[in-house]
Chains A and B, each alone.
Chain A
Amino acid sequence: MRIFTFLCFISSLSIHSVTFAQQDSISYQERYGLSVGVDLNKITRSLYDEGFQGVQFYGDYRINDDLFLASELGFDDVVFRNQVLVNKTTGTYLKAGANWNVYDNWLGMQNQIYVGGRLGLAQFSHELQEYRIYTRDNFFNQDIRTDKTNFDGLFASWVEFQLGFRVEMIKNIFLGTHIQFKTRISATDITNYDHLYIPGFFETNDNSSFGVGWAYTITYLFPFKKIEKKQAVNN
């Protein structure tokens, strides 16, 4: 919380839209428009993690004071590897929903602490690249199968709750982060295998349909219109 306040303070240094029009009120401009951005976490992970290639674009459109239509569009190409199998999942996803800003800004500032809701849809395929036959006795040598098996044309959907904040660092440029809690609605049944990873949903869990995730996003705001606002000042 203190970090957020600090970031807001830094951010306030870069805002110059507050003007003193009259002595009994302050007028300032609220910017409305389209924000677009990318997830920095996925870009950096693509650089250092050999088993990961991914990108996520973000966009939102401001409807009123607190409500933003928001959407993420992404691509994942992820290798999951553990002691018994190697799986590669490739696919695209779309999340659509809205963010609700619950933070009361200082005058003229457009930072956010928000809660968001999304419907997530993913289209993807798995390639089972290698697996080991699991035995508890280990009497025989390890039996490793390397015939690749493909599972194509898969589809999944989920609902997602987001909790995050974003702060204006330079005029119209925002940095933000959020965490995601999600629950799966549907996924294509696959015979004799399972979804170990779903693009946009992240890793699945054998025991439940819940998932978690996060993003670290930089966005640019294209202000389409500016609305003049006035706030009374107590002298």
Chain B
Amino acid sequence: MRKVVFILLLVLTFGCQRDDLCGENFQVTPLINIEFYDIASPGELKSFNNLVLINETIGDTIAYEGGNSISIPLATDSDETKYRFIKNVGTENPSEDRLRFTYSRRDVYVSRACGFKVEFLDLQVQVLDDNPAEKWIKNTDVRKSIIQSDENIHLFMFH
């Protein structure tokens, strides 16, 4: 009898793992990964300083002190997301560009605990500025037009 109980416990332990938590190993809705390159020397990464992003729809901000890459969320309930990209915040010469990310979306089932994620397709990026001469983001290059995974770099920005 004890042997039977032991075997049953063994089966229950290894046969059924927890699936009520959405673990880090599951790819959920990805962020868009952006790397910043030097417009004068396009093969080289170039850092920004005191970069603040403001989402135009909800008004919330994301701030970076410095670095040459960022990972930001795209809206899952709309086919476009607009951010104001302001660099050198807090200095004498801040500079602002508005960026519009447009895409189509599909909902993809992940698991019982994670539910669904959104994948972004046909990514396009526009730098909106009344005066092109004042753009600090000189150019963009979409590297992956389908955003499925956090692991890829999807977009290059040149400044």
Contacts and interface: CB of A to CB of B under 8 A. Distances in A.
Contact of B19 (A137, A141, A192, A206): A206
Contact of B115 (A132, A139, A206): A132
Contact of A208 (B1, B17, B77, B118): B17
B33 interface: no
A85 B115 contact: yes
A194 B76 contact: no
A64 B77 CA distance: 65
A139 B11 CA distance: 41
A145 B77 CA distance: 9
A133 B112 contact: no
Given A139-B73, A140-B75, A133 B58 contact: no
Contacts, number: 89
A140 B16 contact: no
Interface residues of B, number: 34
Contacts of A205: 15-17, 19
Nearest to B17: A207
Contact size class for A?
20 to 34
A196 B55 CA distance: 37
B116 A85 contact: yes
B92 interface: no
Contacts of B115: 84-85, 131-134
A212 interface: yes
B121 interface: no
Contact of B112 (A1, A82, A136, A210): A82
A194 B109 CA distance: 8
Interface string B79-122: 00000000000000000000000000001111111111110000
Sort A-B residue pairs by CB-CB distance and give the 10 closest, nearest first: A84-B115, A206-B19, A210-B15, A134-B28, A135-B29, A139-B73, A143-B76, A133-B76, A207-B17, A143-B77
Interface of A: 1, 82-85, 131-137, 139-141, 143, 145, 181, 192-194, 196, 205-208, 210, 212
24 contacts: A1-B1, A82-B112, A84-B22, A85-B112, A131-B115, A132-B116, A133-B107, A133-B115, A133-B118, A134-B22, A134-B29, A135-B76, A136-B29, A139-B73, A140-B77, A143-B76, A145-B116, A181-B11, A192-B108, A193-B109, A194-B111, A194-B112, A206-B19, A206-B112
